[in-house]
Amino acid sequence: MMKYKGYYGQVTYDDEVKSFHGEVINTRTVITFQGKSVAEIEQAFKNSVDDYLEWCRERNKEPEKPFSGKFVLRISPELHRELNIHARKENLSLNSYVEKTLRHAVAV
């Protein structure tokens, strides 16, 4: 995983064409890059992010922020109720309880 200016790039290697291909994964905007070596793919990633930011500046458009911290989650009413019960038992809001639970789930 590569990181540059708050954007994350994920890279795959195509053995058939002997080339790396990457995509910025933390935006809805499609930002891709490619290279033949590690040095090339790293530079291509940075260039693609910079090109995207420049494109936005030229059009007086706000670049998409990698993530806002908000997302909609659709779950069953039963699970919603159970989560709320667990949150109340811990004297937490449902939002705080879900955030705590998700943090635990992705902890390395």
The pLDDT of residue 68: 75
pTM to 2 decimals? 0.68
Residues of the chain short of pLDDT 50, as ranges, are: none
Packing angle, helices 77-89 and 94-106, rounded to 10 = 90
Residue-wise pLDDT for 78-100, tens only, equals 999 999 999 999 999 999 999 99
